[in-house]
């Protein structure tokens, strides 16, 4: 009876050690894959270099009177400092313009995504 219990304990101990070795090998393989994958050049850098000027051109093409930079926002805030009513009104007007511009940009993106088929989203 004792040999049966000792045999079962030895078998269980061996099984547990095997699991730990499997975990160690798995962690080592995954670590190697992650480290190897971080050095792979997928060419994404080339795409972002050409994409950034295109995005800037699209943003500036809207030619809005709304402030675009932090400096412009801060200057506008200084202009209406001490007059919360005017500031709230300006924020409301700019928000309405931003939503309108987003709608125009959305329709343009939708047209380009559907390869120019005349699908339009109406307001």
- Domain with 89, as residue range(s), is 68-123
Rounded alpha-carbon distances, angstroms, from residue 65 to 55, 79, 102 = 18, 15, 14
Q: Mean pLDDT across the stretch 65-80? A: 81
Q: Give a yes or no: residue 122 inside a domain.
A: yes
* pTM for the whole structure: 0.37
Task: Encode pLDDT of 26-57 as tens digits.
Answer: 888 888 888 777 665 555 555 556 656 666 66
Instruction: Please check whether residues 78 and 28 belong to one and the same domain.
Output: no
For the chain, the domain total comes to 2
DSSP at 80: T
Q: Give a yes or no: residue 47 inside a domain.
A: no
> What count of other Cβ atoms lies within 10 Å of the Cβ of residue 96?
10
Percent composition of the chain: helix, strand, coil (DSSP 3-state, to 5): 75, 0, 25
User: Whole-angstrom Cα distance, residue 81 to residue 75?
Assistant: 10
């Amino acid at each position: 009876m004792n040999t049966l219990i000792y045999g079962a304990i030895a078998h269980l101990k061996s099984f547990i050690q095997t699991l730990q070795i499997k975990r160690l090998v798995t962690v080592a393989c995954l670590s190697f894959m992650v480290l190897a994958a971080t050095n792979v050049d997928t060419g994404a850098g080339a795409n972002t270099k050409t994409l950034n000027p295109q995005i800037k051109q699209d943003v500036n093409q809207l030619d809005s009177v709304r402030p675009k930079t932090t400096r412009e926002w801060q200057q506008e805030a200084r202009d209406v400092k001490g007059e919360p009513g005017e500031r709230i009104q300006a924020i409301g007007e700019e928000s309405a313009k931003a939503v309108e511009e987003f709608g125009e940009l959305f329709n343009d993106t939708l047209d380009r995504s559907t390869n120019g088929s005349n699908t339009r989203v109406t307001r």
